[in-house]
Amino acid sequence: MNGYIVEREKKTEITRTTEVLVAGGGIAGIAAAIAAARNGKKVVLLEREYALGGMATLGLVTIYLPLCDGEGRQLVFGIGEELLKLSIAHGAEANHPHAWLDGDSLEERIKNRYMTQFNPHLFALRAEALLLELGVTVLYGTLACAVTTEGGAITSVVVENKSGRSAIAVESVIDCTGDADICHLAGARTALHDGGNGLASWYYYFSGGKVSLKMFGLADVVPGRATEREAGGEQNGFEAVKVESLDKNVRFSGVDGEELSRAVIAGHGKMLEDIMSHRRADEAFVPVTISTIPLVRMSRRLVGTYTLDETESRKFMPDSIGMTGDWRKRGPAYELPFRALYGTEVKNLLAAGRDISVTDAMWDITRVIPPCAVTGEAAGMAAAIGSDFARLDVAELQKRLTAQGVKLHLD
């Protein structure tokens, strides 16, 4: 602690008014903005970086994990599936999901889970074009850094960008920051993940006449790939990966500015060493692109009205807003309750993606791309219906989600 300063009180200009403000343009934010805009709302999406997709594109986490339960049943529909198709609109980098898109047999669908690998740059550009087509205002280089509240609701979100500090007046807010920044700023209850995060620093490289992805450090590798490969499944389209720990002693929370910089710098150092060791063996080896946002798995989340746990597979949720499987194993299937998206403290605030209310064990399941899209879509649709989320007409939300292709319950 180096003492403190008192900033001069100043008037912050309200430069915009919007019906729905989506904070964060990762997968959850993209899905939320699509759903709210398609359902008639004026939407502003804030993104701190200068491209959409968050971890999935700028972090180079380019594997769209399974939309199915591993036993041949599709669980993720709606925007979760639409975004998978968009991500490979110009071809899959690996593992085009033929078994699912070209109507193959159940046997093939069991053998090959509904997942793919996409090009991060094309996906980010296509997502941006889609949001613009839908009339979403995308503000890049814009950090949500404060909120004003009145009567238990957010009235404006204060942002900082090249123009300085300004405010956006809102009817409702969807927190898709991945770290529950808005929940934290607005005084909603939040929790940190107990285990923190390990180092990861993914990059693409060119060698042997082709560009490949190096999942450097922690990676979410679907188990059983080798077995699937032996069985003739199409999963062999993925690069063979050896997941290595970059430094077992480094753990970081994901919500401390200085610690995040140290983690990223440590990852860069290891990456440089790795690249140099490859160049010694192959002088044509060059990095093509490196992850440009911190690779954070679980950091801060909302403590919502319901906190979903890993043990609740196949449990009926009356307020389900969609489903997900478990990318790590075959069999589990979860109905995601709307109550995990809102808390009791702030009426007009929803969480989506990595920010939703789940236990530490469940977090590892809901933090990946497909469930982030499912909760983003539900949040966007809910914000199109009302702004007092604890009192929202859930039957109407479910009716609209179903009409737009989402499947809410297991058979």
Binding interface with ligand FAD (CB under 6 A): 23-29, 46-49, 54-56, 61, 63-65, 143-144, 176-178, 181, 200, 218-220, 293, 295-297, 353-354, 367-369, 372
Nearer to ligand FAD, 356 or 394 (CB): 356
Rounded to 5°, angle at Cα 150 from 145 and 155 = 50
* Residue placing its CB nearer to ligand FAD in the complex, 348 or 375: 375
Report in angstroms the alpha-carbon separations of 261 from 25, 245, 252, 269, 292.
21, 19, 10, 12, 12
Angle between helices 27-38 and 78-87 (to 10 degrees): 120
SS3 43: strand
Which residues does 184 contact at the CB level (< 8 Å), separation at least 6?
190, 255, 300
Residue 353 C-beta: closest distance to ligand FAD, Å: 2
- The residue among 109 and 297 lying less far from ligand FAD, judged by its C-beta, is 297
Among residues 357, 360, 359, 354, which one has the least CA distance to residue 372? 354
Cα–Cα distances (Å) from 404 to 15, 240, 272, 321, 377, in that order, read 33, 37, 46, 12, 10
**Smallest distance from the beta carbon of 398 to ligand FAD, in angstroms?**
22
Q: With respect to ligand FAD, which residue has the nearer C-beta, 85 or 409?
A: 85
Between 35 and 55, CB nearer to ligand FAD? 55
Minimum CB separation of residue 263 from ligand FAD in Å reads 11
Q: How far is the CB of 66 from ligand FAD (least distance, A)?
A: 9
Cβ(41)–Cβ(383) below 8 Å = yes
Q: What is the smallest separation between the CB atom of 220 and ligand FAD, expressed in angstroms? A: 4
User: Which DSSP helix (H) or strand (E) runs through 157?
Assistant: strand 153-161
Rounded distance, CA 30 to CA 326, Å?
Answer: 22
Would you say 195 or 232 has its CB closer to ligand FAD? 195
Question: Other CB atoms closer than 10 Å to residue 189's CB: what's the count?
Answer: 16
Contacts of 287 (CB under 8 A, 6+ apart): 203, 204, 205, 271, 275
Q: Which is nearer to ligand FAD, 26 or 337 (CB)?
A: 26
Nearest approach in angstroms of CB 105 to ligand FAD is 26
* Minimum CB distance to ligand FAD, residue 282 (Å): 25
